[in-house]
Every structure is written in structure tokens, then in C-alpha cells.
Structure 1
Amino acid sequence: MAGLRPAAEAGYKVAMIRFRPLAAAPLALALIAAPAAAVDRAPDRTAATDYVLARAADANGDLNRAAAGYAAAYALTPDARLGSRVYRQAVSAGDFRAALAAARNLQAADALPSDGRLLLIAEAVQRRDWARARAALAAMPDGDVFGFLTPIIQAWISFGEGKDPMPLLVPGKGGAIALPYIAEHRALLLIAGGRMAEGISQLATMSATRGGREVRLRLAAAAALDPSKPDERTRALAVLQGDDALFVEARAIVSAGRRLPGAIRTPAAGMGELLTRVAADLNRDRVTPVALSLARIATFLDPDNAESWLVTTTLLAGVGLNDLALDALGRVAADDPFATAARDLRLRLLVREDRAEEALGLARAAATAKGAGAAEWTRVGDILNQLDKPADAADAYGKAIALSEANPDPAGSGLAVLWLLRGGALERAGDWAAARPALEKAVAMAPDSAAALNYLGYARLERGEDIAGAAQLIEKANRLAPDDPAITDSLGWAYYRLGRLPQAISTLEKAVAGEPGDADINDHLGDAYWAAGRRFEARYAWRAASVYASDDKKGRLLAKIENGPPARP
């Protein structure tokens, strides 16, 4: 039911990047593929034949053959549109030899896209060919969509040449859109140039608003320090203070005297960091071929930057290229602070690929390894939920709770979430006697958690337990999260159960407006309409619900459309 979703959907949290729902890629994005493989060519093959076969391979998901076919077609007929397709496919797949060749062909045809210009600059920067890098940057036309990056790239080139880059990074350069990027790279260039105290001080001025981005920047600052030297180890540990899981893992690495990966010491690493952030920012709106290209170019510039691989993985998964996404995750080193985030992403991808049993095996292995904690058992519980094994999931969450109680979180919020997850799993397993006290404990520990209040209130409502009290819990949840359609649905259903039909209908109509494709909310609205004597509207709502309902619910909805709802006991 809609009201019970908050706990059921609790799952992985990955630092700094948003993992978007996986979806079938539209045609323009489906052209992204693995590196082109050699294909046997019959003497009478034409460019048209290669193109048709490539499109057919695309449609069948055979991306390697599609890439080879497009490249072969372009070799016979150098059409700019086909060349753009070859370029986009190659760079997004990480085949930089093919991508650079395609980019140069497009440049000669005056058809190079903006991200292609960045690739040519990146190659020169990686080769430390500063003259060619400057020439490629100067060739960027006025009004280019990525023109705001010019002063930052110029600054890193100047750094590579041994010149002072700071005069290039002043407010106003690149326009208002460049300001946050310039602020970051002033700090990173100070640190790369050995002016550690100044760089860290600048990072501190950004800390109030940076969130996850600040975490990455502080990790990069600490990575520039040598923990084999006592004074630098002390400074690195000071930079890494905080409760974020990445800081905890990074402090363990530094305390052991090992140097953190992810330092930004070179122009290639600096430009890679810049493009990674731009790709992640573009991904906030939607996955685009350009965002994926920028992330891939970042991995080309600095293959040791784990964040770039995580962003690349997220973008590949966002267009359904899960095999390539899994391959990208393999580039994150096991001893990197981002390794846990990479493991989380891998498990999520495996579950979404219907390989949940494989994911469960990996999660159990991690949970039973030496030093494992509550987070590892929480992952096991999440995957067991995906496998529709709620009783086993509840046991896993119970193990996580025991470990969390042995190492308490000062804020207590993490433990409250675990009690909510355990209570939700027990409720779905049919053990309400054990679920209710677990959910009540979650509410007691986090009285302002809309998810916990809603889950407990709705579960009581469904069982007819103290409907007025259940409604009060849901009303509080709604005050805390007034725009959550699932909670609005719960509130409307509570009003329905209390017999307050006008309030129920207006509240449920609001919930449907917020989530028109939710079968449960439309079903509830139909019941409320029917109770109010609005039979035509009730049947319309149930028909809408049947469009989105799972197969096991369609029969019940069709019976309602025919005969009305059964009498409630």
C-alpha cells in the first residue's frame, strides 16, 4: 500500500551522487557502446548495409557489434552525422583512441561538439603539451556552452607551465556560473602548489554550504599530505574530522600510515576533477550524452580518481548500460575511501539486473568479514527485502541493530532508521506482534521522522487499531512532510476510516495529483468516492488504478468496477 512505502524503499545512500532509476535508453543514448570490435567485411558490403546492421545490433542490445558497424559505415561514407554518432559512442564507452580519431575527423569537418573540444584539450593536458593545450583552448568559439570553464583550465595549464595560476581565477572570470567552480579550484591549486594552509583555509570557508562536495574536497586535501611524516599525518587527520563514513574510512587509512588516493597534484587531475563535477551537476536535471562524455573524459585524465568512476557508473546505469557500469566500478581500488560507495552501487546494479542472489552473496560475504558493522548487515537486509524475504530481512536488520547499539551513534538517528526497517520487514512478514513494538521504538527514538510516524500510523489503521490515534500520527507526519504523496494518501485514508468523507476526498485528490500513476492512491480515492455516492467517479478512479496495478491486484479492482467495494468487516 502507498502508506507503507517509506520503510520498504529505504536503501542505499551513495556519497555525493544521485543514483537515478534505470531505464531503457532512447535511441540517441542507446548509441553509447563498448569499444568497437573488428568485424569481417564481405567484399560487396556497403556503408548502408553496415549502418542497417549496426542499427539492428543496437536494437538487440549488441553494443559491441553496433559500435563496429557504425565505425565501418563511417569509414566508407564520412558523413558528419554518422561521425558524431561514432564519436559519442566511443567516448562514452571509454574507447579514447577511437574517440580522439572521431573528434579529429569532426574537427576537420567543422562539426566537433563542445565536449569534443574538451576531449582534445584533455589529451594535450594529459600529454603535458602546454602549447597544444593552449591552442585547443583558444579554438573554443565565443559563446561555447563550456566557455565558463576556460579560466579554470587556463589556470591549470599555467600551473603545469610553472607559472602563477591565481591571477586567472578572480571573480568575474567565466561569469556567475563559474564562481563556485573557481572557488574550488583556487583552493585545489593552492594545495597542489604546496600552499597547504591557505588551501585548507579556503576549503573551510566553503564548508557551510558544500555538503557532499565538501567531503570530496577535504579528501583531496588530505591526500596531498604524507602520513609517514608525523606533522603531516596530524594535519591530515584534522582535515578529515567529521562523522561522514568517508572520513571514518579515510582516517583509518591515514592512521595506518598509508597515503590516501585521490590527490589533485597535476593539471590532468585538476581538469578531471572539474569535468567530474560538471558531469554530476548536469546529472541533477537528467542524464545526457554530454554529461556521460564529460565523466568519461575525466576518467581519461585521471584514472585514479574514484569519484569520476562513480559518477560514470551512475550515468551509464541511468541509460541502462549496466554491464559497462559494472565494469567502471571495477576501477575503484579496494583500499580507496570510496570503495564502500562503489560496493553499494554494485549491489544496487546487480539487484536491478535481476541478479539479486549474486548481490546477496556479496553482501553476506561483506557482512561476515572481519571488521564488518551495522552498515554491512543493513545492506543484507535491503537485498533480502528486494528478494521478498521480509522475515530474513528483519533478522539482518536485527543484527545491524545489535552492532549499532554496541557502537552508538551520538545523534541516534541511524538506530531509529534501523528499528523502522526492522519493524517494516516484520510487518510485511505478517508478524504484527513483533512489528508494532519495533515501529513504536523507531517513533520514540525519532519523534519527528515523518517516515516512522506514517508507517506506524498506517499499519495501525489497516488493522483497525485505535483509528483516531493512528490518524494523529499520520497528521503529524503530514505536517512534517506535506508534499509527500504517500503520506497524503495515508492521511486521506485515515479520514475515510473516520467517516470524514469530504476531507478524505479532497486529501486523496491531492495525493493523486502528486502521484497520478500510483495504483493504491487511486484505489483509495475510488473507495472514498463510492462511499460519498459518486459512483461514476469511483469507477473512473478504480480504472485508473487498474492501469498501474500489479497483476495480483487487477482482479480485485475489476470486481470493484463491476460490483463496488466489498463490505468492510
Structure 2
Amino acid sequence: MMRRTGAVSAFLLSLSCAACAAYPGFGSHGFSQDSRYAPPADAAAFGDFLVARYAAMTDDPREAANRYAASIETAPESAGIAQRAVFSALLTGNYPQAVRLANKAHSAGNFGTLVRLTLGIEAFSEGKDSVSAAYLTEDGFGPFNRTVARGISAWRILGSVGPAAAETYLQDTLTGDPRLDSATLYMMGLIQLSAHSDEDALATFETLWDSGARLSIGLDAHARLLAANGDRARALSLLKTFQEEIGENSALENLRKDIQSGRDIQVTRLTPRQGAALAVYIPAAALITRTDDDVASVYFVLALALDPDLHEARTLWAQSLEKAGREIEAISVLADVPETSPYYSAARGQIAWALLRLGREDEAVQVARQALETSPDRGLRVQLAEIYRAESRYREADRLLTEIIRDDDLKGREDWRLLFSRGAARHALDDWAGAEADLKQALQIEPHSPLVLNYLGYAYVDQGIHLEEGLNLIRTALTYDPDSGFITDSLGWAYYRLGRYELATYFLEKAVELEPGDPTLNDHLGDAYWRSGRTLEAKYQWERSLKLEPAEQERARIEVKLLRGPDEPAVVRAESEQPLPHRP
């Protein structure tokens, strides 16, 4: 991510220049030489506030936090400034600063929700039960923060009053719908475990599982409880289902191995502080799947303030930072996950991907390889293979994926994702026979995957083989993921290759609407326009594609098209166009 400090400095300079131009009596350094033009008392706070807002809008939370902090000094009564100050401090991972700012705001009578939540967590950490209770009362919190405060309060009650009171407190907040109550039910199950009420905990976890809730921490507790009570088959079944539905998880994979090997499985019974950390972490883990920014990182910082050993929070915190393009900060967060943690391999894989996005390819490979030397983790091997594929090192990707698939076969395991990746690598190596075999096998295992359906269908059409089958595969993929710009582009390109230019234009325009920043999609639309006789619009799309920074080979091809048009012929010329679908 590009740091914005320079941009903030430029903004400050522009403010000072504007002031010099607007008011007489300023000397060479911009200071008033005439007392008649002295700034109002709150000018400094307002200036800091403006700069803080600019820094926040340009993704510089550290500068924003410092400027908001300065504005609180002179205008602490402003609820908006206090909330933003605490939020920005947490966004940078500076929990102590957030606590200082929250205390300062609170002393001036500011009771904003994030201020209260931060102070409630700090009081809980210090064992100040009544103070924490006052801050965390649910009045005034919005739905999300109310869920967080409720979970922390339950663990506070467990520590100060007892498990029965904590469970009653949570019971009173249930709606009766496990899907809506999932965060509260997870807290209840973990509190029941902590109190050694194992039968009640198992019933709670089973209710959650049957509702479709899938959370790695919850399943870890659930599977451990099953295995410890002798039901290892059920535990392994749940772990297998999680892997198939959600994907790999290092901690759960280690637990699966321990259960299969017959080792004694210990049930984890949390302390109130550890439980309170999860009360913050669990809603934040749900939030990160619904946002495209780094807002969730605020809550991961609060969770880690309660339990610094909650390493899964570090991996998701880093993921939240990466969403905002803050890869360097993400790497710093992940570097604190120790080798002894079950999340170490996942963290090293994330570091490698962050380095790759920063253009530091050699470092990315080195990090993944070094981690493999200390921990021959399957997930990390998969990560390295995907890094090879992302770097177009297809032979190395093919070799490593083949090794993993062979190892999986020996254990009776099938993973369609690996077959898809190897198929894509072999396609890039011009081994179409091998690629097609892998893609078909992946589709047998996961027949509803829009990723595989689209890839295989597009490959057929682009090569001019199995045209109707390819078209049907893409159409099926689009029914599973109708908002995908890339699958919509595949369908449009299929019609283009079949010579159905009106239909091609329709779907390619829709694809560009869905993914306006992709150079390939804009390039395809330009081709369709050209074949439809809309040459000016075609050139506009190709020029737009060039501005979106395509790969060098693609850039050269587009530049040629600007001179003489596209050279991809239709595979089959349609005798008549199909009617266009209705578009609102």
C-alpha cells in the first residue's frame, strides 16, 4: 500500500497557502502579524479534524489517529471526534492509544459506543467488574456492538457470579432462531464447557451445527468434546464436512490427525478473559466475510488485547488489512504468530501471498519454502503450489500439486480444488489432455462448482471444440454465480466465438458493468463492438483496456488491434441470432 503521509503534508500546505491568500497580514512563514486576524480558539482543533478526516479518507489511519488525538485535546466534548479517534487508533493496532483517547473522551462526558466498548474491555482486563458492567450495559449499542458487549458481559458474569447466572443472562437474549443466535449460542456452549457442563455444551454445539453454522473455533470445541467422550467417528465426520464445505484449517487438520492417531484429546476450558476475547473475535470473524474494507480489524485488535495468544485473530486481522491494501502492516501482524501455534503455517502462507502482491516474488517463495522446512504442512504446500501458479511457474506448480494429490490418494482423500489448479497449470503448459482429465475429475467431485464449470466451458469454446457442451457448461456456471462478471464475460466470449455478435455484445457489456476495472473484459467488449460495426466504441474499449494495465503480451496485441482490428475469427457463424434476454 502506498503511504499517504506525503499526501497529508500536501493537503496541509494547500490549507496554509489558501489561508495566506485569503487573509492579509501573514508573514513569510504564514503567521499572522496583525492581532486583528488572530484565529478563533477552536481553529487548531478544527484544522486537526480536517487533516484527520483527509488522512482517514486516503487510507492513512496512523496519521488520522494522531490528528484526531490532537483535536480531542482542544475539543474533547465532540462525540464524533472521539469515536473517530478511538476507531483510528484501533485501526492501526495501537490499543494503548485507543484506551488513552477513550479515557480522555469519557472524562469530558463522551459516551460513544466504541469509547464505551474499549473502556469496558480495559476495565474487564483490569478486574474492575462493576466498572466494566457499567460500560458494557447494552443500552445505546447498535446490533453488532450489542452482540459483542453481551458476550463479554456473559464471561464477566461467569467470573464474578458463576456459570448459572452467565447462562441465564445469555438465555434471556435468544430469539429462538439458531441462525440469528449463533454468536450467543457459541458463547453459551463455551461457557458450559468452562463450567464442566459437558452434556449441555454438546447439545448446544449440535444445535449450532444442525443450523448450518460453521466456525472453526466452535467446531474445535465441539469435535474435542465428542472425541473425549469416545465418539471419534462423529468428530471426524464433522471435521471432514467442514473441510469440504469451508476449506482447509490448520488447527482443525492437526486435531483430525490427533483423533485419527488415537491420541488422548483434551477438552479446552476457557478462562473468563479467554472467553471474552472470543466474544469479540466470533462476531468479527462473521463481519470480515461481509465487508470489503478493514473495519473488522478494529475488533481483532480488541480481542487480542484480551487474549494475546488468540493467534487465529491475527490471521484474520491480517486478512482484513490486506483487503484495504495494507499488506506491509499485515505482514507485521502475521510475523508475531509463533512456530508453536497451529496457525503458524497459515500465517506464513499469508505472508507469502502478501509479498507476492507487493511484487516481491522471490521473497514470497523463500518464506513459504522456509516454513515448509520447519513444518511440512499440507496447507502450506498447497499455498506454495498456488504461488508458483500465480508466478507462471507452471512446471513447479504441476510437480508440487502432483505430489500432494498422490499423498492424498494414499489417505483416501479427494480435493477438487487441487485437481482444478493442476488442470489450469497443465493447460498453461499446453498439456490439454492432462488438463481436461483433471478438470473433468474435479467436476465429478464437485459438479456444482462455477469455477470449474466456467473454466472448462471457456476452454472448449476458445479452442473451437465441443462448442455446445462448452456453452452449456458456462450457462450452468452462471446459474450458480449470476453476479460474476468473469463468468458473464465467458458467456459473451462464447457467443463471440460462435459468431453471434449481438448476444456477445449484450453479455460482454453486462460483464464490464460487473467488473469495470478488468482489462480483459474491456478488451473482449471492444472486439464485439468491432465485429458489430461499432468501430469508434471498439477503439474506446481497447484504449480503456490499455489504461487498466494488461500483461505486456496482451498490451502488444491490443495495440495492434487499434491499428487494424481483431484477428480472432468466429468458430461457427450463426445463421440467425437468438433473441436477446430481457434486460431491466
What is the one-letter code of the residue matched to 2:566? P
Partner of 1:529: 529
- Equivalent residue runs for 1:139-158 within 5 Å: 141-142=139-140, 146-158=145-157
Partner of 1:204: 206
* Cα distance in 1, alignment partners of residues 59 and 435 from structure 2: 44
Deviation at 1:313, TM superposition (A): 2.0
Equivalent residue for 2:364, pick from 354, 359, 368 = 359
Deviation at 1:288, TM superposition (A): 6.1
More displaced, 532-541 or 306-315? Answer: 532-541
More displaced, 518-527 or 551-560? Answer: 551-560
SS in 2 for 1:539: helix
Partner of 2:255: 250
* Cα distance in 2, alignment partners of residues 168 and 71 from structure 1: 37
Partner of 2:582: none
More displaced, 140-149 or 519-528? Answer: 140-149
* Cα distance in 2, alignment partners of residues 360 and 155 from structure 1: 45
Deviation at 1:544, TM superposition (A): 3.8
Deviation at 1:201, TM superposition (A): 1.1
More displaced, 92-101 or 437-446? Answer: 437-446
Partner of 1:346: 351
User: Is the contact made by 1:332 and 1:339 (CA closer than 8 Å) also made in structure 2?
Assistant: yes
CA RMSD of aligned residues (A): 4.2
* Cα distance in 1, alignment partners of residues 375 and 175 from structure 2: 50
Are residues 289 and 75 of structure 1, via their aligned partners in 2, closer, same or farther at CA, if it must alter by over 3 Å?
farther
Deviation at 1:268, TM superposition (A): 2.0
Per-residue deviation, residues 406-442 of structure 1 (Å, max 9, x unmatched): 2232xx3x1x332321221132234446544444554
What is the one-letter code of the residue matched to 2:128? D
Q: Are 2:276 and 1:271 equivalent residues in the alignment?
A: yes
Are residues 62 and 25 of structure 1, via their aligned partners in 2, closer, same or farther at CA, if it must alter by over 3 Å?
closer
Equivalent residue for 1:381, pick from 381, 385, 395 = 385
Are residues 137 and 175 of structure 1, via their aligned partners in 2, closer, same or farther at CA, if it must alter by over 3 Å?
farther
Partner of 1:324: 329
Deviation at 1:482, TM superposition (A): 4.3
Partner of 2:395: 391
User: Is the contact made by 1:148 and 1:175 (CA closer than 8 Å) also made in structure 2?
Assistant: no
Partner of 1:123: 122
SS in 1 for 2:291: coil
* Cα distance in 2, alignment partners of residues 377 and 291 from structure 1: 29
Per-residue deviation, residues 366-422 of structure 1 (Å, max 9, x unmatched): 44667544x44322221112223223222222222222222232xx3x1x3323212
Q: Give the percent of matched residue pairs that are identical in Structure 1 and Structure 2.
A: 27
Deviation at 1:298, TM superposition (A): 0.9
Deviation at 1:546, TM superposition (A): 3.4
Partner of 1:306: 311
Are residues 511 and 63 of structure 1, via their aligned partners in 2, closer, same or farther at CA, if it must alter by over 3 Å?
closer
What is the one-letter code of the residue matched to 1:564? G
* Cα distance in 2, alignment partners of residues 107 and 370 from structure 1: 47
SS in 2 for 1:169: helix
Deviation at 1:120, TM superposition (A): 1.3
Deviation at 1:97, TM superposition (A): 3.1
* Cα distance in 1, alignment partners of residues 55 and 525 from structure 2: 45
More displaced, 74-83 or 194-203? Answer: 74-83
User: Is the contact made by 1:151 and 1:173 (CA closer than 8 Å) also made in structure 2?
Assistant: no
More displaced, 486-495 or 141-150? Answer: 141-150
* Cα distance in 1, alignment partners of residues 98 and 279 from structure 2: 20
What is the one-letter code of the residue matched to 2:528? A
Q: Give 5+ residue unaligned stretches, structure 1.
A: 1-22, 31-43, 226-230
- Equivalent residue runs for 1:9-408 within 5 Å: 87-138=86-137, 141-142=139-140, 146-163=145-162, 164-172=165-173, 179-213=181-215, 215-220=216-221, 232=228, 234=230, 239=235, 241=237, 242-243=239-240, 244=243, 245=249, 246-253=251-258, 255-257=262-264, 259=266, 263=268, 265-286=270-291, 291-367=296-372, 372-373=377-378, 375-408=379-412
What is the one-letter code of the residue matched to 2:102? A
Per-residue deviation, residues 88-122 of structure 1 (Å, max 9, x unmatched): 44434444333222211010122353122112111
* Cα distance in 2, alignment partners of residues 280 and 561 from structure 1: 47
More displaced, 61-70 or 364-373? Answer: 61-70
User: Is the contact made by 1:468 and 1:498 (CA closer than 8 Å) also made in structure 2?
Assistant: no
Are residues 212 and 361 of structure 1, via their aligned partners in 2, closer, same or farther at CA, if it must alter by over 3 Å?
farther
What is the one-letter code of the residue matched to 1:133? S
Q: Are 2:448 and 1:423 equivalent residues in the alignment?
A: no
Per-residue deviation, residues 119-151 of structure 1 (Å, max 9, x unmatched): 21112222222222223334x654556345554
* Cα distance in 1, alignment partners of residues 457 and 152 from structure 2: 55
What is the one-letter code of the residue matched to 1:265? L
* Cα distance in 1, alignment partners of residues 539 and 403 from structure 2: 46
* Cα distance in 2, alignment partners of residues 200 and 334 from structure 1: 31
- Equivalent residue runs for 1:398-477 within 5 Å: 398-409=402-413, 412=414, 414=415, 416-432=416-432, 434-443=434-443, 446-477=446-477
Deviation at 1:534, TM superposition (A): 3.5
Deviation at 1:71, TM superposition (A): 5.8
SS in 2 for 1:191: helix
User: Is the contact made by 2:61 and 2:92 (CA closer than 8 Å) also made in structure 1?
Assistant: no
User: Is the contact made by 2:517 and 2:548 (CA closer than 8 Å) also made in structure 1?
Assistant: yes
What is the one-letter code of the residue matched to 1:397? L
* Cα distance in 2, alignment partners of residues 142 and 472 from structure 1: 53
* Cα distance in 2, alignment partners of residues 141 and 487 from structure 1: 46
Partner of 1:3: none
Deviation at 1:252, TM superposition (A): 3.8
* Cα distance in 2, alignment partners of residues 150 and 438 from structure 1: 49
What is the one-letter code of the residue matched to 1:284? T
User: Is the contact made by 1:122 and 1:268 (CA closer than 8 Å) also made in structure 2?
Assistant: no
Are residues 459 and 536 of structure 1, via their aligned partners in 2, closer, same or farther at CA, if it must alter by over 3 Å?
same
Deviation at 1:68, TM superposition (A): 6.8
* Cα distance in 2, alignment partners of residues 370 and 551 from structure 1: 35
What is the one-letter code of the residue matched to 1:348? W
User: Is the contact made by 1:24 and 1:319 (CA closer than 8 Å) also made in structure 2?
Assistant: no
User: Is the contact made by 2:72 and 2:105 (CA closer than 8 Å) also made in structure 1?
Assistant: no
More displaced, 503-512 or 271-280? Answer: 503-512
* Cα distance in 2, alignment partners of residues 567 and 348 from structure 1: 35
Q: TM-score, with normalisation over the residues of structure 2? A: 0.74
What is the one-letter code of the residue matched to 1:193? A
Q: Give 5+ residue unaligned stretches, structure 2.
A: 9-30, 32-42, 244-248, 571-584
Partner of 1:499: 499
More displaced, 441-450 or 319-328? Answer: 441-450
Q: TM-score, with normalisation over the residues of structure 1? A: 0.76
Number of aligned residue pairs: give it.
Answer: 517
User: Is the contact made by 2:87 and 2:114 (CA closer than 8 Å) also made in structure 1?
Assistant: no
Deviation at 1:346, TM superposition (A): 2.4
SS in 2 for 1:165: helix
Deviation at 1:356, TM superposition (A): 2.8
User: Is the contact made by 2:224 and 2:235 (CA closer than 8 Å) also made in structure 1?
Assistant: no
Per-residue deviation, residues 325-382 of structure 1 (Å, max 9, x unmatched): 2333244443444334333322222222333322212323444667544x44322221
What is the one-letter code of the residue matched to 2:506? S
User: Is the contact made by 2:451 and 2:477 (CA closer than 8 Å) also made in structure 1?
Assistant: yes
Partner of 2:513: 513
Partner of 2:539: 539
